[in-house]
Chains A and B, each alone.
Chain A
Amino acid sequence: MSLRTTPFHPRTGPLSEGQAWRRWAGYVVASSYELSHDREYHAIRNSAALFDVSPLYKYLVTGRDAARLLDHVVTRNIGKAKVGQVLYTPWCDNDGKQIDDGTISVLGDQTFRMTSADPTLRWLHLNASGLNVSMEDVSERTAALSLQGPSSRAILQIAAERDLSALKYFRLTSARIRDIPVTISRTGYTGDLGYEVWVDAAQAVPLWDALMEAGTPFGITPAGMLALDVARIEAGLLLIEVDYFSSRHAWIESQKSSPLELGLGWTVATEKERYNGQAALAAERQRGPAWQFTGLTVDWDSLEQLYADVGLPPRLPGQAWRTSVPVYDRGGHKQLGYATSGGWSPLLKRYMALAHLGSEHAPGTEVRMEVTVEHRRKQAKAHVTPLPFFNPERKRA
């Protein structure tokens, strides 16, 4: 295989029934282990799903000015964060357009781990001139598993032989699982109760075995990216290169988005000192963003009717889709924006989509989304729905 496999591959490889692999940051990871991703999806909401998320880019940022550097780069206030905290944050160019999004784990006063979807080392270096800080790409030597679902805590508590109920949402702790030193963060990409476990790549396989063994009585299920994609849409979590383009990859201005346009206004600090994009974002906040990133719920009866018109029962994509789909006003003529991800929620029994619309279209607004029915373009009725679609109490409890 010319692409790299992750440190968990000795375990994940043999599990793959259909040899369905997906590329991620130069690695291959499972699309689904079983022939259908169905059961893997349900495990996220029913018991616990185990994902290999090792391909994430990971950087260790250390030194006296580490917080200063990160505060200069990202939009959230790192200086105010406490040791043990994890912050989800976007980062922008000077025009306030989003480059990427990821997490920053505050491992110590001067030690941070940053994750990103795209390589970020050069960008950190560009911003670090004159600062006393060192940056190390630890992507390869750090492996990571994400354990997501209502039983994830019970499983980790057994594996780590300690109580994790005090570990709050977006906090981390160091722990040992079968004598393997790990960091456990209460984070994830599913909008559910869940954790990510960070480990030295050399210890990846024994960690996998330990979690699987502890998790089997609880129905732990290795899961791939197809299942994750459905869950992250339910959770209203956006995906780079799908729901937005990095401003560094955009070819034209209109392909760029600001965090305010992506529903990430809450991550844009107003009270901290100069950071990339600050002035542009402050001005945009002042005048109000032109776009919003929101949910759409496709009206079932409308979709059913479009299919009934050609004599078919309604059909839906079996997997989440990632294409750009036009969204129109209720008259069906004026385009209001476009959806970028969508799919059927097996849990909610709803056809949902994530969309960019002009910010004036309030929740509840009736719109039309383009659907292809028997090779023909049709429009299904849909309603603007606030994100997330699914937000269980257990996520934060």
Chain B
Amino acid sequence: MKQYDAIVIGGGHNGLVTAAYLARAKKSVVVLERRPRVGGAAVTEEIFPGFKFTMFSYVVSLLRPEIIRDLDLPRHGLHILPLESTVTPMENGDYLAAWGDHDETRRELYRHSPRDAEAYDEYGRLMHFMAQAVKPILGMVPPDPTSFAPGDLAGLLKLGKHFRSLGGERLHALVKLMTMSSADFLDEWFETDVLKATKSASGIIGTFLGPRSPGTAYVLLHHYMGELDGVFRAWGFAKGGTGAVSDSIAAAARSFGAEIRCNAGVSKVLVRNGHATGVALENGDEITARTVVSSLDPRRTFLQLLESDQLPPEFVQDIKRFKFRGSSGKVNLALDALPSFTCMPGIGRQHRGAFSISPSVDYVERAYDDAKYGEFSRRPYMDIVFPSMIDPGMAPPGKHVMSIFVQYAPYNLNGGWTDAKREAFGDAVVNTVESFAPGFKSLIRHRQVITPLDIERITGLSEGNIFAGELALHQLFFLRPAPGWAKFATPVRGFYQCGSGTHPGGGIMGASGRLAAMRILKDGT
């Protein structure tokens, strides 16, 4: 029987990135994917004939440019298209818009508050410096601050120097960002409520927190990190949807010689004498390899693929404490035509960007209140895009698809999720959009409603958390997924983790997949 250098469990984008890098280094690699297609939560599926849905994730956030280049992804079909504007409809019929052109955005903001229009540039400058301060961390293996190993010390020293070089003022701002709520942080800068609401909404995505919860300010930075990449424009919409990102990584991996098997769910990692030796498939087959890598989330990686007696008990406790708390849902629609919003009537360039349903900080916080007590938001926060306006190939000519990211929909819904509750949730979403775009409902030809339970059922992500574990400060960097085990290795020798549940986690970034591959190659498979 063939012995591989490495088995990668799970064909999501991170698993594929790890496989591609290993294969590129001339290792024999097989990716084992449970579903009939690769992609994990980055898949495009034709749920309704002719209409392609970006089922779960819908934008490419911070896909690392070095991955795009190293794997030559454009040659394998990757094309990231710009998503330039955000329009926030307000409840009084007005709107707040951010356009691609800086002057135009400033003038729009001036309409709401001349003071904020000026503060906006200063704020942008500060966030630019903050993002610059944090960004190198994304590309480094997190050093353990409690360790005296030379590698950790060198990493900490580098990090220490880096933060000292920021200077006092910026370091203080960074500490604020790391500890404050996004609403409080934005209060220090702006007076326009709808601006604060829309900005703070980006801090709550994928978390079980509200804009007034401490710790949410940090995520504000992510937007600016995308901007730091500047002309890289790694922030956008992938032609063909996020599934095309996965497909391009898979094609790259294959071109380097990696094997990808779908319909090949793994039930257990085989361990002998504390060393991983291969995997057992759900169909009973066994595959052996010198190295096994899991791209699944930490809970499934350690509590499902391994027996608890194969791991140190404290570590098992840490993993059990790792928080998931899926809080987002998705509604995908096939439309006969684009909806016209009351605040900006007609069809136009606004449909090529995002619509943010975040009319006020209170609105978003109230949406969270519902979730806090176990209900889905009656009037949820939504991030809406029309993928067919960016890539017309997503729908038949002249028709459209609409992707609605919704928060909050708690995994642990009171009484549990049922088909009826899913539809009620879908109704709440559609009715809320209708209130900003009357007539919208009559354009819907097909509706797909996805709850966190559905996310878990389809992709395997525990509790439907889109980041494979909440992106909260206590679960980041050297704490992701557990103290002492943030460097992709695990307590089982030859067994590694590479998914979003490891540093830096979150979004279609691919950084953890790449860093894990680097680690594995360094250790020597």
Binding site for B on A (CB under 8 A): 35-36, 38-39, 42, 45-47, 151, 154, 217-219, 300, 313-316, 318, 344, 346-350, 390
Contact = CB atoms under 8 A, between A and B. Distances in A.
Contact of A390 (B74, B100, B393): B74
Nearest to A314: B230
B82 A316 contact: no
A314 B82 CA distance: 20
Most buried by A among B66, B391, B393: B393
B397 A218 contact: yes
Interface residues of B, number: 27
A219 B389 CA distance: 7
Given A46-B81, A151-B393, 20 more contacts: A36-B100, A39-B82, A42-B81, A42-B82, A45-B79, A46-B79, A46-B239, A151-B392, A217-B398, A218-B397, A219-B391, A300-B69, A316-B231, A346-B233, A347-B74, A348-B74, A349-B69, A349-B74, A349-B232, A390-B74
Nearest to B392: A219
B65 interface: yes
B352 to A, nearest CB: 8
Contacts of A348: 74
Interface of B: 65-66, 68-69, 74, 79, 81-82, 84, 100-101, 104, 132, 228, 230-234, 239, 352, 389, 391-393, 397-398
A38 B100 contact: yes
B101 A36 contact: yes
A190 to B, nearest CB: 14
A348 B75 CA distance: 8
Contacts of A315: 230
A36 B398 CA distance: 26
A46 B391 contact: yes
B512 to A, nearest CB: 20
A35 B69 CA distance: 29
B397 A347 contact: no
Contacts of A300: 65-66, 69
22 contacts: A35-B100, A35-B101, A36-B100, A36-B101, A42-B82, A45-B79, A46-B79, A46-B81, A47-B393, A151-B392, A217-B392, A217-B397, A219-B391, A300-B66, A300-B69, A313-B228, A316-B230, A346-B231, A347-B79, A349-B69, A349-B234, A390-B74
A166 to B, nearest CB: 22
Contacts of A346: 231, 233
B350 to A, nearest CB: 14
B397 A318 contact: no
Contacts of B389: 219
B508 to A, nearest CB: 15
Nearest to A39: B82
B367 to A, nearest CB: 32
A380 to B, nearest CB: 15
Contacts of A47: 391-393
A97 B20 CA distance: 47
A390 B230 CA distance: 22
Contacts of A217: 392, 397-398
Nearest to A35: B101
A373 to B, nearest CB: 15
B230 A349 contact: no
B81 A313 contact: no
Nearest to A220: B392
Contacts of A38: 82, 84, 100
Given A46-B391, A348-B74, A349-B69, A318 B81 contact: no
A154 B393 CA distance: 11
B79 A350 contact: no
A200 to B, nearest CB: 29
Nearest to A389: B74
A300 B232 CA distance: 11
Contacts of A42: 79, 81-82
B68 A349 contact: yes
Given A39-B82, A46-B79, A347-B79, A218 B66 contact: no
A162 B113 CA distance: 55
A35 to B, nearest CB: 5
Contacts of A39: 82, 84, 352
A154 B397 CA distance: 10
Contacts of B68: 349
A316 to B, nearest CB: 5
A305 to B, nearest CB: 13
Contacts of A316: 230-231
B396 to A, nearest CB: 8
Nearest to B233: A346
Contacts of A350: 69
Contacts of B101: 35-36
B30 to A, nearest CB: 28
A38 B390 CA distance: 13
A148 to B, nearest CB: 15
Contacts of B84: 38-39
A45 B352 CA distance: 17
A151 B104 CA distance: 31
B500 to A, nearest CB: 22
Contacts of B82: 38-39, 42
Nearest to B240: A46
A313 B230 CA distance: 9
Nearest to B65: A349
Contacts of B79: 42, 45-46, 347
A46 B244 CA distance: 13
A304 to B, nearest CB: 10
Nearest to B74: A348
Nearest to A150: B393
Nearest to B399: A217
B339 to A, nearest CB: 17
A344 B230 CA distance: 11
